[in-house]
Structure 1
Amino acid sequence: MDTWDIGNLAYLGLLGVVLILWLVMHNRLSLGRTLQQAAGWALIFIGVIAAVGLWDDIRREVLPGRAAVATEGRIEVPRAPDGHFYLTLLVNDAPVKFMIDTGATGVVLSRKDAERAGIAAADLAFTTRASTANGKVRTAPVRIDRISLGPVEDRKVRGWVNDGEMDQSLLGMTYLDRWGRIEIARGTLVLER
């Protein structure tokens, strides 16, 4: 806290004391009711201050995965409450929510997300295997025509469709390598080209 903040805090404190003294003097005949009203206003004031102070946390809870395009070629992703980073990208013009996973080799689509993106999972050959936290799963290699994140579009991205149960598609290194810089700082993932 610098000198300016201390001065502002002292001014607000003095203003609050004067206001309380005026209320007590003005309403000394009905002091009980005045104290109840003052307590109510104090709780409202504390609630507003708490909401303003916690706004970043509230925003991340209510809008997880929302990416802000700070400048062209720069994407900032807030950390979700579960500790992961999520992004919604357009895969062949279909919105797909991804969990960013630097431990994944490539872009891994769930069967459901692949179907939404126009990739017919029934026509794929699940000839490769991948090791996951849940064990080995069968995968089918695919070439994704187009992936868009805000103004940034990539074409012909290598990926896989997972044959196993998968709650979330994964955004792995074959996509992340296309960015020039990846940084995690103060709960925000920054991607820059």
Structure 2
Amino acid sequence: MTDPEFRSPWDPQNHKMPSGGGGRPPGNRPAFWSMYKWVIIPIVLVMVLLLLLPKLSLSGGQTATLLYDIILLAMVGAGLIVHIRSNPGQALRNIAAWVIILGILALGYSIWSGSGRIGQELNPSMGQVANGGISFPATLGGHYVLRVKVNGEPVTFVLDTGASDVILTEQDARQVGIDPDRLNYSQPYDTANGRTWGARVRLSEMSLGPIYLENVRASVIRRGLDQSLLGMSFLERLSAYQVKDNVLTLFP
């Protein structure tokens, strides 16, 4: 015998749709606007901007670039909003992960390049530009380390007011385009490791923040020096320099 109250899951009566027609439960019909407004709104904004572009007095290239950026931003923004609405929890986790990744990349770039306040704090040799000059805090050993571009290449120097010239190590000389093997080492220098010999050269350009110098007198030393020195041939070309509260400030 079959229980009259039991209905097979395959019984067609179990799958009758509620009255109202259309084959969809009442109240679940998606409204056109609610589904597509995040696509329609960007399209409308792009059309409005297209109408305003002739009034911006942009060149053809600038107009094309601006239009491309607007369309790309609209498409990415619309897709992001739709993704957030469809799965808010997962979308927010994805956004948080990307924010962390981009933040780490930005911090790494700031430290590597020395740009930005964080980069300057963690890499003091890059200096901090302010009030028309550039400042460098003293290291724990009391030295001033400066990152200077020589012939377009970055070179790390230690400030040495006792050195009459800018002094380059052999390695740094090669980096800025000077061949140490073709120089005449006839200039005597006294270093902490004893007397050594250097070769006189001219540096086409040196730049440091707002400071830019050309044809700077320098010497290359092959032995007896571990670090290039920023000497008086650079400092005497400045309008002023000062040391106050363990901070060196150079003025162009």
For the aligned pair, the TM-score class normalised by the smaller chain equals: 0.5 to 0.7
Provide the residue aligned with 1:175 in structure 2.
Answer: 234
**Contact 2:134 / 2:210 at 8 angstroms: preserved in 1?**
no
The match for 2:129 among 61, 64, 69 is 69
Provide the residue aligned with 2:250 in structure 1.
Answer: 191
Task: Map 1:91-130; keep pairs closer than 5 Å.
Answer: 91-130=150-189
Provide the residue aligned with 2:194 in structure 1.
Answer: 135
1:180 maps to a residue whose letter is S
Provide the residue aligned with 1:30 in structure 2.
Answer: none
Please tell me the root mean square deviation across aligned C-alpha atoms, in Å: 1.9
Give the deviation of 1:61 after TM superposition: 8.0
Q: Distance in 1 between matches of 2:171 and 2:248?
A: 27
* TM-score (norm: length of structure 1): 0.66
Task: Map 1:81-100; keep pairs closer than 5 Å.
Answer: 81-100=140-159
**Contact 2:157 / 2:229 at 8 angstroms: preserved in 1?**
yes
**CA distance change for structure 1 residues 108 and 163 in 2, over 3 Å: closer, same or farther?**
same
2:247 maps to a residue whose letter is T
Secondary structure class of the residue paired with 1:65: helix
* TM-score (norm: length of structure 2): 0.51
1:137 maps to a residue whose letter is T
- Structure 2 segments unaligned to the other structure (5+ residues): 1-117
The match for 1:150 among 201, 209, 213 is 209
- Provide, for residues 26-78 of structure 1, a one-character-per-residue CA deviation record: whole Å limited to 9, x for no partner: xxxxxxxxxxxxxxxxxxxxxxxxxxxxxxxx999842323001033x11111
Q: Distance in 1 between matches of 2:251 and 2:171?
A: 29
Aligned length: 135
Provide the residue aligned with 1:166 in structure 2.
Answer: 225
**Contact 2:120 / 2:127 at 8 angstroms: preserved in 1?**
no
- Structure 1 segments unaligned to the other structure (5+ residues): 1-57
**CA distance change for structure 1 residues 59 and 185 in 2, over 3 Å: closer, same or farther?**
farther
Provide the residue aligned with 1:38 in structure 2.
Answer: none
- Higher radius of gyration, 1 or 2: 2
More helix by share: 2
**Which segment is superposed worse, 106-115 or 178-187?**
178-187
Percent identical across equivalent pairs? 38
More strand by share: 1
1:146 maps to a residue whose letter is E
**Contact 2:198 / 2:222 at 8 angstroms: preserved in 1?**
yes
Give the deviation of 1:163 after TM superposition: 1.7
1:153 maps to a residue whose letter is Y
Give the deviation of 1:166 after TM superposition: 2.0
- Large movers: runs of 4+ above 2 Å: 58-64
